[in-house]
């Protein structure tokens, strides 16, 4: 069993577009205060609070929101080596173990030493044009090279460790982490990977007369995507796209930082959580 984790200096952030998330965050802060633990509470996008996180003032970030908030928190916290605990107020919550009505019980477990830290690989993507790097990002879910506003497919070639894998004519290519295997990659027909894996998953999007199967690369492998035409963009974890030009290169590898999630119970939580959500969707239940 991993080493127990008991925080001493937590901070609480909430998704600001949900008033109920901010209210729930304040309720958590009051609950912790009653236990003698003072935890600031504010918006996930509060620049002053984010700066304090980046400066290493806290030892736990509690996120009240959904999977999107967890992604944003991962980008913020990974460079600061700060663990994240999610409380789900979103629609699905693949990344979150605690539902809104259960957080009081889980905080008891947390301070009783029943929590542990799960490390998840992130990706680093660099955008190179004419031999110069003009963009660099870390991704928790995926890096997507795809078509822009035009409906025409894009043409690109994928290389693994400098060796050509294949050329594609497709709507795009997803380079995903194990975490991202339950996100866009899953919707595009890719396999589900256990969260502890450090492999890059490549999934083509609507390929035309091209390789149409997902590929799981060896741990430590790197990927280069060369753009062979116009109309291409890159998007990191669903963020607004950046236009790409012909002959641009996107270099993708495992990032030097990891996202750390606070977990409870055994590692089988992932499969129980996954099965529950997949069954809900298969029944067509409203979210």
Structure tokens of 180?
């991202």
Phi then psi dihedrals of residue 187, to 5 deg: -65, -30
Q: Which of 127, 148, 149 is nearest to 136 (CA)?
A: 127
Handedness of CA 177, 183, 186, 188 (dihedral sign): negative
Known active-site residue 171: no
> Looking at 67, 171, 237, 248, which residue is catalytic?
67
Could you give the maximum distance between any two Cα atoms of the chain, in Å? Answer: 63
Place of tokens 């069993």: 1
CB 62 within 8 A of CB 11: yes
Q: DSSP of 149-183, one letter per residue? A: SSSS-EEEEEEETTEEEEEEEESEEEEE-TGGGGT
Please give the positions annotated as active site: 67
């Amino acid at each position: 069993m991993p080493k127990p984790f008991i925080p001493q200096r937590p901070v609480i952030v909430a998704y600001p577009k949900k008033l109920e998330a901010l209210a729930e965050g304040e309720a958590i802060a009051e609950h912790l205060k009653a236990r003698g633990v003072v935890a600031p509470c504010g918006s996930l996008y509060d620049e002053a609070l984010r700066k304090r996180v980046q400066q290493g003032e806290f030892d736990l970030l509690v996120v009240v929101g959904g999977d999107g908030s967890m992604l944003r928190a991962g980008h913020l916290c990974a460079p600061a080596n700060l663990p994240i605990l999610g409380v789900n107020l979103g629609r699905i919550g693949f990344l979150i173990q605690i539902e809104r009505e259960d957080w009081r019980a889980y905080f008891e477990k947390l301070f009783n030493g029943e929590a542990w830290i799960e490390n998840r690989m992130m990706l680093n993507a660099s955008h190179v044009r004419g031999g110069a790097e003009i963009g660099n990002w870390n991704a928790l879910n995926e890096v997507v090279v795809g078509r822009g506003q035009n409906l025409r497919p894009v043409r690109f070639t994928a290389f693994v460790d400098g060796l050509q894998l294949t050329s594609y004519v497709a709507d795009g290519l997803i380079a995903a982490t194990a975490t991202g295997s339950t996100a866009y990659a899953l919707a595009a027909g890719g396999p589900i990977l256990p969260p502890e894996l450090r492999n890059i998953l490549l999934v083509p999007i609507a390929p035309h007369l091209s390789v149409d199967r997902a590929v799981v690369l060896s741990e430590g492998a790197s990927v280069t995507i060369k753009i062979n035409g116009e109309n291409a963009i890159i998007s990191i974890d669903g963020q607004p796209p950046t236009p790409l030009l012909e002959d641009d290169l996107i270099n993708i590898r495992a990032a030097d930082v990891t996202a750390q999630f606070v977990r409870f119970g055994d590692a089988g939580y992932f499969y129980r959580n996954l099965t529950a959500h997949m069954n809900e969707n298969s029944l067509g239940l409203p979210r």
